[in-house]
Structure 1
């Protein structure tokens, strides 16, 4: 950087602030942790100037709302309107304009943004970049930021590590069992960590890359020469072998498909697989390991609160019986007759079928209109239309509706939240599912019959079971609560109905949501996630059959994250199992828990475990491989439709009634 004073341009969403939008279009920005600390440091840097490069959406009204929200959240900190630039960041033009407005050369400008694709474009325009506000000064001074593996020595705690990290240039992205943390750090951060007694291994520069955890479920054969080695030694060798196998497969598959096989770098062994860094634009989430279980790819996001696990006090309170002390929602409480009656009336097979039909393209999405959904894929233009339609439906039911906006692959996506707030609530209960779909496991051909990759822009992805069935259950649960409130009964806890976007892209939407909730200091009593609840193979529908025995439902409480969330999630699973037994006694519940739970880390509930909250995922008999599965055979295929022979809306309604009953019991109804 030259002698000129630096000019720093910030992206807003997920970088400076978490973004929520009301149904009327009003915008709220919540500053992210450590952002004010960074801004204050810039103000103290002689001559430094601050600007914005961000995309609030099309039109002057959207830009005016963004400017008003920026002023409200950061009053007096971005006062030079000439340095505020609104628009897409997919091409360098907006960055060239920003540099020109600063009146300096590009190398005297820094762009701070979480999105690696946007950082790559800014770098193309000659700007320096920072992947997180914490690294702004490092970018100004030309100091690199590296991916790092941090190891907790025996007897040291995450709290001790956080005490060092939170005041230094260290930003964690993943915390694994056994005292391993993947993080972004500078040399100054490494020095502080090592002085604090922590071991750090550098793994390569961050620059314009993003981190992923790739799980590999394939068996590993440890060499016979290690037969007499200790269990610890064998485990280390197995971890190295699994990491190498997973990384090699991903790199080769990307190279084979022409999608950037040389642009991924191993960051070393991860729980059940490998950490890797992928260059901007490299579609790691599109690579599927042979024989891998669902959800094997997890996108990792920077989060300075990750080490503190702010949800743990809520989890401890749940286990210690604070719910019982509040005279409602005690584990073991039988659901009230009134609640069972309301749930049985509101959540039926025809209701579930109607919702699935709308969101999977059988019927028009909106009454009185002809347009039908083709795909809810995160890359499909239909996705935001589904969000908008469901937002209005939930608003009409009387809920406070917010869209939690984030960016993925240059696209604006939203998580959808509908809240019934309760003053004085000791924590919110979340009833959730994921909104997006995919059909990337289908077979496709070009115009002359040659095989081609799945294209979300043109290929259908109805996702009737995954996760249209979960979405339908959430919508029906919201309708049920609305009907209960209309009778004069109200919950004693806040209730939120949440649909997460981009789950199929590595749990991105739920991670963004949970990260924002943690930063905001939200109190969450429990999360009930439904991910695929309608799949029941036709020969298992009558009870016991060749496909795997009794009609069963899986309740996944297992987590790879140790701590209070483990016991709290098990306790929450007990509540769900009891509620299912009360309203659907012919279903068999399969309780899966512990780090070996096959859904641990693989659905949106994991984003809440990661931050210490109690959470369970409820699904059809799909994940558990200890017996033949009875779930859908159309997983991630265009055949995942409402009329598929494996799609059973009565079965889905039974599960939805159980989960809704558990949620309503937990909120005191």
Structure 2
């Protein structure tokens, strides 16, 4: 009889830490059903509780609270880092059997690779634990939905068999993990399955390729549909060819999973850093990490989004018109000086914590300063009287945190989220070794100040929280919960926001709208200040209209309180930021969301944007000539005013 060992974070449960250090595990969808299925099978844990005295004890208590009685044999509980095969060898020994009789169930493909070196079988999701016991493969699978078949029908079948989606490309195509058994169930239900390579120790990514596509001769008279299909295939081939060339000789081969929106799906083996592959001319957000999630098909936010349609947004926010009191409070709190102070601390110009030594060199997810920044931001939010939680996840062996600070309104119908990403990168910079020869960016040691990307957005979230505190101190109260969220590892394929949104969907969170600020301080000298409001979603359904309505509220506010700023509202398929910033993680779950930025993208006519020219370089500093805190304050004021108005202030 096999012994099953489970990772916890993102596999069994979503993990969050309260301000007092207490730990909470929230079971992931379908997990409890899987555990019940294996009620008579010996089950253990292989998970990293994090550093610090008492971490294992706190994790054990949280495990018992979330999964009472499921992991009763203490000999099979193994706490510690999974950076080598050692902990997996220990687990095999504790099972008192052969390694081949042990199964490690974990979402992280690098950890599964280590488990395999110890001789264990592996499963990429609890749903596939039985397949691993039976030694049946799990395959990357493209699922086609013919006319007459819906995502809801697909979900009904998928949730009863061995299928877990990882990306919904459209209402006609879904990328998933599936066994042949699961694929047969879908086929009998009228769906089309295209089985690709084995999942094993790989992870799925969507790599977009923004380079122009040269159409073959003879397509001048082709139908629009035929031309579009051909362009999709050619773009996917070009993107895949570029990825393969970039990783050749550095890692195992990357597998193609076929065309994807704007590029190609790839299966990257353990140790292959697809996030560091940048096609020429790539626009922001060109790489997206795909996570398994049964809720991708149900889009739980859609029910709420239908409730908060245009009329609903207006009813909850005074018809969307900001009150003079709110506007005055925002102008007082969200100032160029306040933003500059926060950005200076986040980007290393000033000490991270006033009065203490130590400046930030980089907020890159691989940099040691990333954790210090999270600590400092957490402390500042606590000083503002907000309830602070850290949402833990792992990326490339690093233990990272999203940061959430909340003012909860009891009985509120929903929450308004004001968000940005706290990490940085300098992956587009030019670096040389000791002999002056070009070398790749080293995120562990190279400077990545990220003053604009996204120090400016993070600073704006902080000033929004400071404004809320001032309003509450003045005796005013919102009617909706207001939540300030800073995502980590955005530069690694939107990883942090995907983990956060996935967990929010699993717990039935009610969100009326997400206002993401990603790069708001870039303005080239002599250029007219222009703000981009991105509402475009690749996800069809109610989220489209609701995100447009949310974008309308921001645009209206800009015209009312920052009339010198030109508004570019971008939506639909023509929005160049579709799927490319953290707001897209909420679109995936059906919630209304927009990303607000400087003039970052080129116009359809090819005119370059007027934002920063130091994108993803060490030159993205507060001293850069393109960094304009007055412009940043204009955008931050408009977003903050919209959020507080939507929250009933």
- TM-score, with length taken from structure 2: 0.98
Contact 2:601–2:608, Cα closer than 8 Å, also in 1: no
Shift in Å at residue 224 of structure 1?
A: 1.6
> C-alpha distance in 1, partners of 2:574/2:300?
24
Whether 2:245 is the aligned partner of 1:245: answer no
3-state SS of the aligned residue for 1:598?
coil
Shift in Å at residue 77 of structure 1?
A: 0.8
Whether 2:604 is the aligned partner of 1:614: answer no
Match of 1:329 among 299, 317, 339: 317
3-state SS of the aligned residue for 1:618?
strand
Contact 1:321–1:330, Cα closer than 8 Å, also in 2: no
> C-alpha distance in 1, partners of 2:312/2:443?
46
Whether 2:250 is the aligned partner of 1:259: answer yes
Contact 2:162–2:181, Cα closer than 8 Å, also in 1: yes
Q: Deviations over 1:15-66 (max 9, x none)?
A: 000000012211011000000100001114xxx2000000011234111110
Match of 1:174 among 144, 167, 173: 167
Residue in structure 1 matched with residue 38 of structure 2 by the alignment: 42
Residue in structure 2 matched with residue 315 of structure 1 by the alignment: 305
Residue in structure 1 matched with residue 262 of structure 2 by the alignment: 272
Contact 2:374–2:401, Cα closer than 8 Å, also in 1: yes
Contact 1:259–1:283, Cα closer than 8 Å, also in 2: no
- TM-score, with length taken from structure 1: 0.96
Contact 1:165–1:193, Cα closer than 8 Å, also in 2: yes
> C-alpha distance in 1, partners of 2:312/2:33?
36
Match of 1:642 among 619, 622, 632: 622
Q: Deviations over 1:93-125 (max 9, x none)?
A: 000001101101100000000000000000010
3-state SS of the aligned residue for 1:147?
strand
1:193-342 equivalence runs, <5 A: 193-255=186-248, 258-260=249-251, 262-319=252-309, 321-325=311-315, 328-331=316-319, 333-342=320-329
> C-alpha distance in 2, partners of 1:350/1:212?
40
Residue in structure 2 matched with residue 431 of structure 1 by the alignment: 418
Contact 1:349–1:652, Cα closer than 8 Å, also in 2: yes
> C-alpha distance in 2, partners of 1:604/1:286?
18
Distance 1:621 1:323, change over 3 A: closer
Task: Tell me the number of residue pairs that the alignment of Structure 1 and Structure 2 aligns.
Answer: 647
3-state SS of the aligned residue for 1:53?
strand
> C-alpha distance in 1, partners of 2:564/2:445?
41
Shift in Å at residue 330 of structure 1?
A: 4.6
> C-alpha distance in 2, partners of 1:324/1:216?
38
RMSD (Å) for aligned C-alpha atoms = 1.0
Match of 1:25 among 21, 24, 29: 21
Q: Deviations over 1:196-230 (max 9, x none)?
A: 00000011100000000011111112212333333
Contact 1:581–1:658, Cα closer than 8 Å, also in 2: no
Residue in structure 2 matched with residue 544 of structure 1 by the alignment: none
Structure 1 gaps, min length 5: 541-549
> C-alpha distance in 1, partners of 2:625/2:308?
40
Residue in structure 1 matched with residue 451 of structure 2 by the alignment: 464
Residue in structure 2 matched with residue 543 of structure 1 by the alignment: none
Match of 1:444 among 428, 431, 453: 431
Whether 2:56 is the aligned partner of 1:63: answer yes
Shift in Å at residue 315 of structure 1?
A: 1.4
> C-alpha distance in 2, partners of 1:624/1:39?
50
Contact 1:335–1:582, Cα closer than 8 Å, also in 2: no
Shift in Å at residue 320 of structure 1?
A: 5.0
Contact 2:150–2:171, Cα closer than 8 Å, also in 1: no
> C-alpha distance in 1, partners of 2:37/2:171?
35
